Structure 1
Amino acid sequence: MDSTPGRPDQRGTTTPHTWDPGLYCEYAGERGRPFVDLVQRIAAEDPETVLDLGCGPGNLTRLLTSRWPGAAVSGLDSSPEMIEAARAADDRIVWEVGDLRTWAGEPHRVDVVVSNATLQWVPGHLDLLGPLLDNITPTGWLAFQVPGNVDEPSHTLRQEIAEQDRYAAHLAGVAVPSSHDPATYLERLVELGCEVDAWETTYLHVLTGEDPVFTWVSGTGARPTLQALPEPLRTEFATELRERLRAAYPAGPQGVVMPFRRVFVVAHKGTGA
């Protein structure tokens, strides 16, 4: 999801940045649909404990209380801004500021762990799957969704601009998202003893408003890059990115169509992990 070190612990960046809950929720409906699609495929019947790792502002975490009304639901995120927004919206859930990787390295016993659009910010997160499973009960569930659209103009144009000499010196160590294909996650989790359901979906988001793709990426994938730049370079970068995104995603009769591929994984430990 999306003044502090931002989400460096979960996302692995070395350059400070912050996350804006309001901007992140600008397209809450479109961002939330993959979460709903993911949770629907988790066949846990009556879990006692459910955790949302990388819960962001908590608007989606709250859906877990309806999905499993008898469960104790909690949310963890390394962004204080996100957790502050979550606490203000719902006090039924235990919200905590914390490092996803630190959590995975500590002893926990959770029945269902959900992680939505978070692991793509953790370098080498395939190696994190084993520790995450270690903190899930013997017949528990790990379910996550990551964007799989790094080859789309919404990412490649940002990278092309960032490689220009006037920007590159400021952008070393800036977080960029990365993920794997469904088959890669499936293979790793099967090796770890899980029954795995892995798939991908490409959503065709129809966006409205002025420069909607720029608004979308400035709240997520491009935000660390933009925040790392000093003025006036930040404004110059944003202007160029805005113009190039406008050309790559032209407006049509209904709005701007932005294809968005996402990768989903639901792993059940069963009795073998």
Structure 2
Amino acid sequence: MSSRQYSATGPAPPATERDWSAKQYAKFLDERTRPARELAARVPLTSPKRVIDLGCGPGNSTAVLVERYPDADISGVDSSADMLAKAKKTLPKLSFGLANLETYTPDDGPVDVFFSNAVFQWLPGQSRIQILTRLVEGLSPGGVLAFQVPNNLSEPSHVAMRDTAAAPNTPWTEKLAHLKKGRDEFPQPTELHDALSPLCSDIDIWETKYFHTMESHEAIVEWVKGTGLRPFLNALSDTEQEGFVREYLARLKEKYPTQRNGTVLLPYPRLFVVATKA
């Protein structure tokens, strides 16, 4: 589920801090896998020969593809060595490789399905459209690019990250100055349609908003530690991280009411695209 991207304007974290944590990501694996199942169900092909899972993470989305297409040649790529190690352990019969999607081109010719579960949002904003069109161009005629991305930058969970980073007179004010605006918004459906329609015979775009039941506000923190909160925490020392998380948690408690049974509902919108090459 990962691809390398932190900030176009600020310094990247040290190499030792860049990798994703498969263990942290897996804390909410069912919730993270559900969109992959729903995306795979909308891929119109019934018997593709070659399927590649882009940003395969720990292999949860790849396993969905294996279930849907048991006779296909299925492989996965990711930029995280930790994620790939987990994927290889989970699906030892499949091929997994290290790759950066900004430059990735598959070997051995065209592909029938490019599949991606929550990765393209991490790519640099100015190159997303270019990368997506390049992938469609690499498909076999009638092949499919199917992907989903979180569409939650305006949700309180992510607004609170940026507000916490921008809080004045904190130990992290200077270190997180480049993250106050967060990552770039993902292209709108109209932009995606205009970019892909010259290459495609059909484009299916939709949005789904999930309402995940969380045990507590602390559980929301654990969720985003595996994804959106990583660039903020990676730039801080352990002590600074504790202070940042404490203030971030306080903001979450202001934004998300506790349900009568003590749980917290986390709204989580996701954007889905299934594009079929002409």
Within a 5 Å distance, the mapping from 1:63-212 to structure 2 comes to 63-104=64-105, 108-123=109-124, 124=126, 125-165=128-168, 166=170, 167-171=172-176, 176=183, 178-209=185-216, 211-212=218-219
AA of the residue aligned to 2:156: P
Name which of 227, 250, 258 aligns with 1:251: 258
Q: Do 2:75 and 2:96's aligned partners in 1 also have CA atoms closer than 8 Å?
A: yes
Aligned to 2:243: 236
Where 1:267 maps in the other structure, the secondary structure is strand
Partner of 1:50: 51
The structure-2 alpha-carbon separation of the partners of 1:54 and 1:33, relative to structure 1 and needing over 3 Å to count, comes to same
CA contact (8 A) 1:121 1:178 kept: no
Cα separation, 1, equivalents of 2:50 and 2:70: 11
Q: Does 1:267 align with 2:275?
A: yes
In 1, Cα distance between equivalents of 2:93 and 2:184: 31
Q: Which residue of 1 is the match for residue 225 of structure 2?
A: 218
For 2:85 and 2:96, the matched residues in 1 are separated by: 9
DSSP 3-state at the match of 2:87: helix
Structure 2: distance between partners of 1:20 and 1:117: 15
- Once the two structures are TM-superposed, the CA of residue 12 in structure 1 deviates from its matched residue by 6.5
Cα shift at 1:98: 1.0
How far off its partner does 1:130 sit? Answer: 1.5
- Give the Cα–Cα distance (whole angstroms) in 2 for the partners of residues 214 and 24 of structure 1: 12
Q: What's the % identity of the aligned pairs?
A: 36
Deviations 1:126-173 (A, max 9, x none): 121121112211210000101111101110010011123542421355
Give SS of 2:200's match: coil
Distance 1:29 1:107 in 2: 33
When the two chains are superposed, the root-mean-square deviation of aligned CA atoms in Å is 2.1
Secondary structure in structure 1 of the residue aligned to 2:103: helix
- Equivalenced residue count is 265
Q: Does structure 1 conserve the Cα–Cα contact (< 8 Å) formed by 2:214 and 2:265? A: yes
Structure 1 residues 190-229: Cα deviation after superposition (integer angstroms, max 9, x where no partner)? 1333410001111111112561111111111011211111
Report the alpha carbon displacement of residue 19 of structure 1 after superposing the two structures with TM: 1.1
Residues 148, 180 of structure 1: 8 Å contact kept: no
Q: Tell me by how many angstroms 1:31 deviates.
A: 1.2
Q: Distance in 2 between the 1:105 and 1:159 partners?
A: 36
Distance 1:98 1:52 in 2: 11
SS of 2:88 mapped into structure 1: helix
- Give the gaps of 5 or more residues in structure 2: none
TM-score where L is the length of structure 1: 0.90
In structure 1, C-alpha distance between the alignment counterparts of 2:132 and 2:39, rounded to whole Å: 17
CA distance in 2, matches of 1:265, 1:194: 13
* Counterpart Cα distance in 1 of 2:238 and 2:111: 45
CA distance 1:51–1:77, change in 2 (3 Å): same
- Counterpart of 1:85, as a letter, is K
| Alignment-derived partner of residue 29 in structure 1 | 30
After TM superposition, the structure 1 stretch with the greater mean CA deviation from structure 2, 57-66 or 159-168, is 159-168
Which sections of structure 1, spanning at least 5 residues, go unmatched?
none
Change (3 A) 1:11 1:74: farther
The code of the aligned residue for 1:156 comes to V
For the Cα contact (< 8 Å) 1:52–1:74, is it kept in 2?
A: yes
User: What letter corresponds to residue 141 of structure 2 in structure 1?
Assistant: P
Secondary structure of 1:155's counterpart equals: helix
Q: Distance in 2 between matches of 1:74 and 1:164?
A: 43
Separation (CA, whole Å) in 1 of partners of 2:196 and 2:185:
18
